[in-house]
Amino acid sequence: MNKIKLIIDNKEVSVPQGTTILKAAREIGIDIPTLCHFELAGMNIHNKPGGCRICVVEVEGRRNLAPACVTECTEGMVVRTNSIRVLNSRRTVLELILSDHPADCLVCAKSGNCELQSLATRFGVREIPFQGEQSSYKVEVSPSIVRDMNKCVMCRRCETVCNDFQTVGALSAIERGFPAVVSTAFNQKLSYSSCTFCGQCVAVCPVGALVEVDHTPKIIRAIADEKKTVVVQVAPAVRVALGEEFGMKPGAIVTGKLTAALKALGFNYVFDTDWSADLTIMEEGTELIGRLTRHLKGDKDVKLPLLTSCCPAWVNFFEFHFPELKEIPSTAKSPQQMFGAIAKSYFANKIGVKREDMIVVSVMPCLAKKYECGRDEFKVNGNPDVDYSISTRELATLIKQANIDFNSLEEVPFDSPLGESTGAAVIFGTTGGVIEAACRTAYEVITKKQLPKIDFTELRGLEGVRSATIDVDGLKLNIGIAHGLSNARKLLNEIKEGKSQFHAIEVMACPGGCIDGGGQPLHHGNSDIIKARWEAIYKADQNMPIRKSHENVSVQTIYKEFLGEPCGHKSHELLHTHYFDKAKVIEIKLD
């Protein structure tokens, strides 16, 4: 590739053709500030509208200032990133943005984690010289996401992830001029839009315009209520990310401290969603084997490929965009909902607590889980199987306000019986994990032989769409994997066109799967963090003494004691669900 030489702040630098000034400067240690610019390397997320104009630099011979984020280097270019002209303009632009931004940092969910606040600190802004009209939009609270567009800086990151990465199309810019803002079609509430509540918009929002619905006060109240038995479950991806909130290195596995913290917070029972992930494999795996067997016997009506159904944003996506395919996904509930259903039946009975007196809380890397646990089909007489779902970030806030020194906690194990799990469950936390766990079990159930090698490395990776053929003792099982709904859309279109060669497809809505869910600690575009969490997931799997779901003793016990057999009558009642045609229930409501 052609190399280009240029001078930035009197330093010579040589970069490949096509490199932006921003990247070239960062290579020689010059950190030009940015706001709208956002990239998640390796995940195909690029937001470069060149709109905020914070990154402007002076280029010799150019009439006006150039946005460093989108201006490509040219041979012999002379760039100044800190001349008085640049500093004055950059500061003025920042002051302008601040002049249309509420100064309520003290009570903003993003305080301390806000990129605009960081810029104001970095520039030493002491006052905002511009006074004038400020945007005033109604704050919208949806089941998962709070939208306060008064804080929107029009960086368009949310629009990019929602449209390009997720192809959901719920958010886009409306209006023009000063009132221009990102919103839904017809300015509808998110709940009436095509939003899947994946929360990726929240994960990339640089300010407090998009944040999660905060359930922490409800949790504190529930724990304080002596009449209630409060049960908590923790999703696999939480344990490889929570440490970041307490200054630990990305990828630190904090399972033992996490359980200790939850006990310290006062939860009566600290259980693991990994347990119900193993249960999910029993159900979903059995369903897959069932469909495959019928398929091999020549049954033309059998629905293949089987699509996983753990990810609630994915479920929302196909219900809205591909309702005609709603018979294809596995009917198995997600691990969160399986856990809730079991906790409020089997476990509640076991400890002699009435359903109404039990509160089930889930800690999830996800915001769509908040929506999922509120779905009507997951309620019994109006009482939800899972009462509240909080994100990894909310849990960190809870721990901090309860004066718990997370780093010095003694590690403790999960409670029994819904706390035992296998390595197969941990890997649910990343893309390819669910299907690998299913393969581990399906192989041994179908062949009745022991797996020669537990690790299906061919199913692992962070490419958006992956495929592999698994040899199940002569039976060639074609597996497809997608993360990011744009990638899922490709595979779904193949199915619609009758071109899909897969027997089973795993889909996760978020980049990398749950490890970068909408509820995880913010990475601010640093994909190394996601990679570290990804590695940690497989390390956690390696560390487990049992690594196949069907070998989970506690799961085996529940089948013996309560459920009977996988996909049996009781299982169908408690652990399976059905899907809706949401394209038809979208309403135009002006509110």
Catalytically annotated residues: 284, 287, 310, 330, 369, 372, 377, 514
Nearer to other proteins, 51 or 517 (CB): 51
Q: Could you say whether residue 176 binds other proteins (CB under 8 A)?
A: yes
Closest CA to 428 of 257, 579, 234: 234
Q: Which residue stretch of 44-52, 107-115, 278-286, 403-411 sits at the interface with other proteins (rule: CB under 8 A)?
A: 44-52
The secondary structure of 343-403, three-state, reads: HHHHHHHHHCCCHHHEEEEEEECCCHHHHHCCCHHHEECCEECCCEEEEHHHHHHHHHHCC
From the CB of 361, what's the least distance to other proteins, in Å? 41
* Inter-residue contact 209 to 153 (CB < 8 Å): yes
Site for other proteins in 72-101 (CB under 8 A): 72, 85, 88-89, 92-93, 96-97, 99-100
Q: Phi, psi (5° rounding) for residue 535?
A: -65, -40
Nearer to other proteins, 118 or 172 (CB): 172
DSSP 560: I
DSSP per residue over 18-56, as a string? Answer: T-BHHHHHHHTT-----SS-EEETTTTEEE----S-TTE
- The number of angstroms, rounded, from the C-alpha of 121 to the middle of its chain's C-alpha atoms is 29
Nearer to other proteins, 90 or 291 (CB): 90
Among the listed residues 16, 18, 76, 179, the single contact to other proteins using CB under 8 A: 179
* Inter-residue contact 316 to 197 (CB < 8 Å): yes
Nearer to other proteins, 96 or 475 (CB): 96
Site for other proteins in 129-168 (CB under 8 A): 129-133, 153-154
What is the three-class DSSP state of 516? Answer: helix
From the CB of 138, what's the least distance to other proteins, in Å? 19
Among the listed residues 24, 43, 56, 409, the single contact to other proteins using CB under 8 A: 56
Which residue is listed with tokens 């039990």? 358
Strands 78-80 and 3-8: parallel
Q: Could you say whether residue 31 binds other proteins (CB under 8 A)?
A: no
Q: Could you say whether residue 37 binds other proteins (CB under 8 A)?
A: no
From the CB of 112, what's the least distance to other proteins, in Å? 23
**In whole angstroms, what is the distance from residue 581 CA to residue 494 CA?**
20
Tell me the angle at which helices 273-296 and 335-342 cross, rounded to the nearest 10 degrees.
Answer: 110
Among the listed residues 71, 273, 309, 316, the single contact to other proteins using CB under 8 A: 71
From the CB of 552, what's the least distance to other proteins, in Å? 51
Nearer to other proteins, 87 or 351 (CB): 87
* Inter-residue contact 426 to 511 (CB < 8 Å): no
Site for other proteins in 254-283 (CB under 8 A): none
Among the listed residues 30, 52, 332, 435, the single contact to other proteins using CB under 8 A: 52
Residues near other proteins (CB under 8 A) = 49-54, 56, 64-65, 67, 70-72, 85, 88-89, 92-93, 96-97, 99-100, 129-133, 153-154, 172-173, 175-181
